[in-house]
Amino acid sequence: MAMDYRLDSPKILLEFLSYHETVKAHSQKTVDEYYLDLRNFLRYIRQLHEPEFIGLKLDQIDIRDIDIDFIRSITLTDVYSYLAYLSRDRLQRPNSEKSNKGLSASSRARKVATLRSFFNYLCNKVHLLPENPIQDIDSPKIRKTLPCYLTLDESIRLLETVDGPNSERDLCILTLFLNCGLRISELIGLNRSDIQDDALRVLGKGNKVRIVYLNKACKDAIVMYLQVRPVIGGKDQDALFVSRNRQRISRATVHSLVKKHLAEAGLDSQKYSSHKLRHTAATLMLQNGVDVKAVQEVLGHEHLNTTEIYTHIDNDSLRIAAKANPLSHVKIKEKSKE
């Protein structure tokens, strides 16, 4: 359910959110995250600037009367103070009394991205600020880790062990994850009308549509599933994947069935997930000679550097490159022991 921003947002924030929802066509989830990030930021800055709010919890601070004059008073030093608060004192799970404090570098970097978007909007789109106070802000450094993925043999084993109730549906879901690299939000949003011969119309991030071509395994899995797919009515009647309650399948159900089949295949269901199957699809394509730009199109990545992380994963081509080094055959003499 979409959040009602009108309850506790100032006019300037509502206009920013409306801009991203209508002009930028960002997803509701993205707009919700902007709202939560900026509400927390404005509450913190108000407490920092105005003594009457000192001692209150941030969620007790009203920001509805904040205007452009207040925004103009925000300095780069204020923003760095906010980032220090996020790093040291912000609860990782605000609604839990047992939550640890201090957000990860990736969470803080996302909030910096929100602030950049907000101040760029005020400076460059509606021209309410003469200068951008955070133009030179540094983002927290994020430690890059290699994606976790299944090997080819593990992927085959996962597909071959699918059995039990809803096996046709579950096999089709796993096949699309492993062959097309879909996000879970993209998979649950698929409709039967999105299937066009050997192509699949996918609605990705930011409501961007892309076409993913289906190989024989995907087409066969879809045909087998559609033969047993329940007929449903109402708003979900065109949904491709249907739950046992005869509704569009939910994110939670997909997570659950992926974990179930991973465990049944003897794979670590704690280590792997539906998103790791997306990593697997990307890795297997690159390992088998697909150009990185083609993989970018398949995955729906906006930036190539997001896809390029998969090129650093250990694979046969890297082993061949290592063995091709002329120094690879040089024998190292053992030192004599005294």
Positions annotated as catalytic residues are 183, 205, 275, 278, 301, 310
Give yes or no for a contact between 279 and 307, defined as CB atoms under 8 angstroms apart: no
Run of H or E including 264: helix 251-264
Give the C-alpha separation, 70 to 47, whole Å.
12
Give yes or no for a contact between 306 and 175, defined as CB atoms under 8 angstroms apart: no
Give the C-alpha separation, 112 to 82, whole Å.
10
Give the C-alpha separation, 132 to 136, whole Å.
9
Q: Residue 3 burial (CB < 10 Å; 0-12/13-18/19+)?
A: middle
Q: Distances from the Cα of 335 to the Cαs of 247, 270, 305, in angstroms?
A: 71, 46, 45
Give the C-alpha separation, 134 to 233, whole Å.
51
